[in-house]
A and B are shown apart, each in its own frame.
Chain A
Amino acid sequence: MSIFEYNGSALVAMVGKNCFAIASDRRLGVQLQTIATDFQRISKIHDRLFLGLSGLATDAQTLYQRLVFRHKLYQLREERDMKPETFANLVSAILYEKRFGPYFCQPVIAGLGDEDKPFICTMDSIGAKELAKDFVVAGTASESLYGACESMFKEDMEPEELFETVSQALLSSVDRDCLSGWGGHVYVVTPTEVKERILKGRMD
């Protein structure tokens, strides 16, 4: 089993009309044993920027702490929040620093940029950015997620429809992956509010 599959994870981010959704599964496992069913994979960097980290949980926790630290320093110096594009560059740089001893994580970054334009991107464990206009996926269930998102995605979905689409894509994909699942965590972010919802799926 690869080190990326040690804990199990599933992450997806999708773009809608002036909004975005980011969703994850809730399982924390140690190879085939499940340790917890309430693990948080998505963290808020600021009100309009969310970061999901898939892969090895210990590196996700370490990386998250380093990124929050860097963002807080940025806020102190610049007296404003980081733009999503800038944050993505920061994550990419921090990952490439460890090129020959990497963090075993695949981040998914989702935020609202200038003029409330939604921004999503993912990268591999050494910081190769992949920008997308529609959706990005990561984790052990990523292959299923690619298929589900490709077929369910539509342009310019309103927040409610986006929530339904992301939830269905996530749940159907994790149901085919034994290392991820045990429910879902969905954040739908518009310029005015952040809606956090917990999904109940197949609890296995």
Chain B
Amino acid sequence: MECVFGLVGNDFAVVAADTSAVHSILVHKSNEDKIMILDSHKLVAASGESGDRVQFTEYIQKNVALYQFRNGIPLTTAAAANFTRGELATALRKNPYSVNILLAGYDKETGPSLYYIDYIATLHKVDKGAFGYGSYFSLAMMDRHYHSGMTVEEAIDLVDKCIAEIRSRLVVAPPNFVIKIVDKDGAREYAWRESVKDAAVASA
């Protein structure tokens, strides 16, 4: 029931993900951050098997950092997306990762971009994308309200509309979401949308 979605605005890209860590019927925690800051201007929103998700995205993050150390310049978003796809494709027929990824980035030369990479390594550059059961609702909402060149306010409003739709129409809807944004000033957390706060741990 993991929900991940994202869209591209006029000079930024925004991604949102639910924050529940679930195993079978148990919710381990509801503040799990599934959007990793890959480097200064890239975000990776990942959904899928939680072990694979963390291991694979960290592997990509460290390799992207290694490239920057070795070559002195950061990878472009397209290059990072193609690298990620390559790793998923190589592992596909040996030891596949069950991770779906939305990679959002901002490059000075080409502006914002969003890449859809599913768990069998299908890569496609998109304006709006989503994974999981929530995608049925968020994609429909974005198909209706999205237009190219949206401002941050319009985009966040659309993200909130998608979250509202998921909350009201998905049977086991995740209660909390995190929204992260990437633009010329870098990748950063934008907001949380919480409807259930984790209880504070009682002191021993």
CB distance from A19 to the nearest CB of B (A): 31
Contact with B along A27-46 (1 / 0, CB 8 A): 01010010110010000000
B156 interfacial contact with A, CB 8 Å: no
Interface of B is mostly: mixed
Number of residues from B at the complex interface, CB < 8 A? 16
Most chain B CB within a 10 A radius of its CB, from A58, A61, A62, A101: A58
Contact with A along B106-130 (1 / 0, CB 8 A): 0000000000101011111010010
Which chain B residue lies CB-closest to A30?
B118
Q: How far is the CA of A28 from the CA of B115 in the complex (A)?
A: 14
Please choose the segment from B48-56, B85-93, B162-170, B192-200 that sits at the chain A interface, where 4 or more of its residues have CB less than 8 A away: B85-93
Contact B93 A58 (CB under 8 A): no
CB distance from B87 to the nearest CB of A (A): 12
Q: In the complex, which residues of chain B have a beta carbon less than 8 angstroms from the beta carbon of A56?
A: 120
Q: In the complex, which residues of chain B have a beta carbon less than 8 angstroms from the beta carbon of A58?
A: 89, 92, 118, 120-123
Contact B124 A36 (CB under 8 A): yes
Q: B129: which of A35, A39, A61, A62 is its contact (CB, 8 Å)? A: A35
Q: In the complex, which residues of chain A have a beta carbon less than 8 angstroms from the beta carbon of B118?
A: 30, 58
- Contacts A58-B92, A62-B89 given; indicate if A28 touches B122 (C-beta within 8 A): yes
Which chain A residue lies CB-closest to B119?
A58
Which chain B residue lies CB-closest to A98?
B93
Q: In the complex, which residues of chain B have a beta carbon less than 8 angstroms from the beta carbon of A61?
A: 85, 89, 121-123
Contact with B along A44-61 (1 / 0, CB 8 A): 000000000000111001
CB distance from B132 to the nearest CB of A (A): 11
CB distance from A30 to the nearest CB of B (A): 7
Contact A36 B126 (CB under 8 A): yes
Contact A35 B116 (CB under 8 A): yes
Contact B126 A35 (CB under 8 A): yes
B136 interfacial contact with A, CB 8 Å: yes
Which chain B residue lies CB-closest to A62?
B89
Contact A62 B121 (CB under 8 A): yes
Q: In the complex, which residues of chain A have a beta carbon less than 8 angstroms from the beta carbon of B123?
A: 58, 61
CB distance from A69 to the nearest CB of B (A): 13
Most chain A CB within a 10 A radius of its CB, from B118, B129, B136: B118
B76 interfacial contact with A, CB 8 Å: no
Q: In the complex, which residues of chain A have a beta carbon less than 8 angstroms from the beta carbon of B124?
A: 28, 35-36, 39, 57
- Contacts A33-B136, A35-B116 given; indicate if A7 touches B89 (C-beta within 8 A): no
Which chain A residue lies CB-closest to B120?
A58
CB distance from A125 to the nearest CB of B (A): 14
B30 interfacial contact with A, CB 8 Å: no
CB distance from A8 to the nearest CB of B (A): 12
Q: In the complex, which residues of chain B have a beta carbon less than 8 angstroms from the beta carbon of A30?
A: 118
Which chain B residue lies CB-closest to A61?
B123
Q: In the complex, which residues of chain B have a beta carbon less than 8 angstroms from the beta carbon of A62?
A: 89, 121
Which chain B residue lies CB-closest to A60?
B122
B135 interfacial contact with A, CB 8 Å: yes
Contact B92 A36 (CB under 8 A): no
CB distance from A145 to the nearest CB of B (A): 23
4 more CB-based (< 8 A) A-B contacts, given A7-B122, A28-B122, A62-B121: A33-B135, A39-B124, A56-B120, A58-B92
Top 7 A-B pairs, shortest CB-CB distance: A58-B121, A57-B122, A58-B122, A58-B120, A36-B124, A62-B89, A36-B126
B interface vs A, CB < 8 Å?
85, 89, 92-93, 116, 118, 120-124, 126, 129, 135-136, 139
